[in-house]
Amino acid sequence: MKSGRVKRDVLPDDTPSGAQGWFINTRRAKFADPRLREALCDAFDFEWTNKSIMYGSYERTASVFQNSNMMAQGMPDADELALLEPFRGRVPAEVFGEPYMPPVSDGSGQDRALLRKASQLLADAGCAIKDGKRVLPGGEAVAVEFLIDEPTFEPHHMPFIKNLATLGIDATLRIVDPVQYRSRRDGFDFDITVDRMGFSSTPGDSLRSFFSSRTAALPGSNNLAAWPIRPSMR
């Protein structure tokens, strides 16, 4: 490659790349407010994590249908609006606007602008600081447990947990054996866990296992975050 006799290139691939990330269990009342969930997102510095832990080898995904025409991009077009209009007022208003995009940090590992934004979102959600700790409107401390079954992702969690502590959120990481993890995952006994989704370029009935209301209540389903979520959520 140095002499130019071999060329290294990236070939275009039009299949959905899938996505890996944290899934917030919205079955738990403490995650009901979308502003709290957005604040959690703002506390994670992907740019620093990618540079410092993953050797800059990752690109951030914004959709489980990344790298395909099924990925939400821009405002809904006329055909999409025709499908969405019957649900106006029953789904979040954001559905009719630009899709949510993950924040881009300054890569420092502790982006003050994003942490200030997260702190304001928490305050707007009624989560005040009391004795140095963030509390829900009812007075319960905002505590988050990340659940994983092997230590590979431990380095990715610790800077995230540090940033959450800056916001007054008591976050911890619990690593359990695979059998216990499977039991807790199947029973939705977790706050936040890691998973990866990957779909074909011809989506079909298999998506119900991930996104339907029926599977949100079905133990052992792939609907970890409890999609679709209530109109007050996103």
Q: Give the Cα separation of 110 and 114 in Å (integer).
A: 8
Summarize pLDDT for 176-217 with one digit per residue, the tens: 999 999 999 999 999 999 999 888 888 788 888 898 888 998
Answer yes or no: is pLDDT of 229 > 60: no
Two structure tokens written together for 61: 């995904």
197, containing H or E segment: strand 192-197
Domains of the chain: 26-216 (3.10.105.10)
Give the residue among 154, 148, 157 at the shortest CA–CA distance from 177.
148
| 155-162 LR contacts (CB < 8 Å, sep 24+) | 155/53, 156/49, 156/53, 159/45, 159/48, 159/49, 159/109, 160/43, 160/44, 160/45, 160/49, 162/110
Peptide bond connecting 103 to the previous residue in cis, omega within 30 degrees of 0: no
Summarize pLDDT for 98-126 with one digit per residue, the tens: 999 999 999 999 999 999 999 999 999 99
Quick one: pLDDT at residue 228? Answer: 63
Summarize pLDDT for 52-62 with one digit per residue, the tens: 999 998 889 88
Please give the mean pLDDT across all residues of the chain. Answer: 91
